[in-house]
Structure 1
Amino acid sequence: MDLELGLQNETVVVTGAGGQIGKVIVDAFLSAGCFVGAFDIDESKFSKQHPNLFWVAVDTTDEKAMGLAWESVEERFNSTPTLCVCAAALDLSFIHHHSSIIGMPTSQFRRTLEVNTVGTFITAKLWLEHVDRMSKADEKMANVANGSNGANGANGANGANGANGANGANGTGAAGAQSHTEKRKNISLIILGSEAGDLGVAGNPDYAASKSAVQYGLVLSLAPDAARIHPSARVNSICPGAVDTRRFREECAEDAPGKLKWIEAESTVAQKKAVDVEGIAKMCLILASEIWSPSTTGQIIRLNGGKSGRLFWDEVGNALW
């Protein structure tokens, strides 16, 4: 049994690569030997340097700019990114919170869905378009090679080997094409969802709705679509609970009553702790690997420490949001 990830020299695009979770995901793929196209709208986050890392400043909601960004990664690494992690999103920690939907302007709802849902759709569309082009190019190469085999065999290029003459004569042909396509098996789209897509967020339906849309509707629709384009293409979502980022720790420290950590990461969480950021990155590697996740597609992977629900009211009936 092969226990290697098999991701060496693969090309991956990570959106939201400069974020608190995105940058750890980038590090994980670099450690696995991948070439990484790191997309983020904020160039000030482009601090990490690595020979296999290519930063691109781009707004994921701009389809034309995203297309150019994707092509720049292909040109830089001379390879189609068959792996993609959609980590770009308006983080709940940085979205304006409301005690009720009554106080939320419609413009905020639209903006959150534009970034978190439409941006993810654009990224997913580009990934699948390029997988489709790659698949057709590989098929064409295989057909040409098979034709060369037959012609060379008929001409007796390799004597008794006949139809396999081209393989022996120049090391190419059908076997070479098959070897080429074998390298294309790590074809995976991973969308970062959230527990908010399952449990909702009182006062922030914008965020909850945006995450529900991508981790359910988009993933479940894309999984069969991708498999039709290429049988090895897989689409999944990782949905973390409260994550132990620097920002979450700051919020907990700023919380005067001292209940935030208990409410978000302890009271209804079996493990009684926030989610480890590296654990999310490691799950991305597992889902990206054809060796480790060959039949995993259309799935929502919940990394939440066994969280079973939310708290809305304290013991005397006061709202906890």
Structure 2
Amino acid sequence: MFMFSSLEQQVGGIGLEAVRTFRQLGARVTAHYNSNIGELRTLEDVTCIQADVRDEASVDRLLQQAAEQNGGPVSVLVVNHGIWPSNNTGIADMELGQWQNTLAVNLTGPFLLCRAYLRALRNADVAVKDTANIIFIGSTAGKFGEANHGDYAASKSALMYGLTPTLKNEIVSIAPRGRVNSVNPGWVATPMAEETLKDTAFVERALATTPLQKVSLPVDVATQIAVVASPVLSGHINGMNIMVDGGMEGRLLFPPKAQ
């Protein structure tokens, strides 16, 4: 069984597309949401469960309900949820409350989800353990940083370069074939990013070091998640950061000067 953790507040994002992709592949899917179930409500044969990832008891209950309602423990955990505060605020001016809330959602939430998942995995049967893996959804912000969004960048970097290599060594003590990887997109054409991506100058700067010169679609990321999740296609891929960013090599520090 696959479980997707998502806090997307608008429909049409990576989480929704990933759920659709895994359903098309015949998987049993549990989809987590925080407050807005959105289009998940319209999908057939998908178990939807509400939980606040910042709350320990809520996360433990989420994994228990997923097992009860979908016929067995979660075998693949996709940690897709996250918030990106839209206000442009440098570290020098950032309120402590913003920093703490971003890390509570984007970092403590994944910790609680992974802990609950691994505890449940201890009692799972061999078939579940043989397909066990955790997939984080990181970001180019975690690799290159992101000016005025240091809270988001720090949380994603911690998933990509802290938890991923740590957990790939720990999961095998519970499930010998267990794997942990991170799929890391750049800008994705989701409803949440729609207004930002209408700014042509912004898109040009964002793609300035990207050879493919295009913004990815949710399906680009969802397909890569499915490939990584497959023990047939990716059974020997472990502890990796897989960039889904068109070959991005960095960021422009400042807008290009007028000619």
The two structures have a TM-score, normalised by structure 1, of 0.75
- Which of structure 1's runs of 4+ aligned residues deviate more than 4 A? none
In structure 1, what residue type is equivalent to 2:5?
T
Deviations 1:216-264 (A, max 9, x none): 10111000100121111100001111112233232122x3xx3111111
Shift of 1:286: 1.1
RMSD value, Cα: 1.7
Mapping of residues 3-22 of structure 1, within 5 Å: 11-16=1-6, 18=8, 20-22=13-15
Mapping of residues 122-201 of structure 1, within 5 Å: 122-134=112-124, 138=125, 181-182=126-127, 184-201=129-146
Choose which of 282, 289, 307 in structure 1 pairs with 2:230. Answer: 289
Partner of 2:193: 248
Q: In structure 2, what is the Cα distance between the partners aligned to 1:34 and 1:211?
A: 27
SS of equivalent residue, structure 1 residue 59: coil
Q: In structure 1, what is the Cα distance between the partners aligned to 2:63 and 2:196?
A: 35
How many residues align? The count is 255
Shift of 1:47: 4.3
Q: Specify every segment of 5 or more residues in structure 1 that has no aligned partner in the other structure, as ranges.
A: 1-10, 139-180
Choose which of 83, 86, 96 in structure 1 pairs with 2:87. Answer: 96
Q: Is the 8 A contact 2:7 2:82 kept in 1?
A: no
Shift of 1:32: 1.1
Mapping of residues 35-46 of structure 1, within 5 Å: 35-45=28-38
In structure 1, what residue type is equivalent to 2:63?
W
- Aligned-pair identity in percent equals 26
In structure 1, what residue type is equivalent to 2:106?
N
In structure 2, what residue type is equivalent to 1:262?
E
Structure 1 residues 306, 34: closer, same or farther in 2, change over 3 A?
same
State yes or no: 1:260 paired with 2:223: no
In structure 1, what residue type is equivalent to 2:155?
S
Mapping of residues 67-106 of structure 1, within 5 Å: 67-90=60-83, 92=84, 94-98=85-89, 100-106=90-96
Q: Is the 8 A contact 1:17 1:26 kept in 2?
A: no
SS of equivalent residue, structure 1 residue 292: helix
SS of equivalent residue, structure 2 residue 234: coil
Shift of 1:277: 1.2
Deviations 1:10-57 (A, max 9, x none): x11110065511111111111111111111111342543344211111
Choose which of 225, 249, 253 in structure 2 pairs with 1:308. Answer: 249
Q: Specify every segment of 5 or more residues in structure 2 that has no aligned partner in the other structure, as ranges.
A: none
Choose which of 149, 171, 187 in structure 2 pairs with 1:204. Answer: 149
Higher CA-based Rg? 1
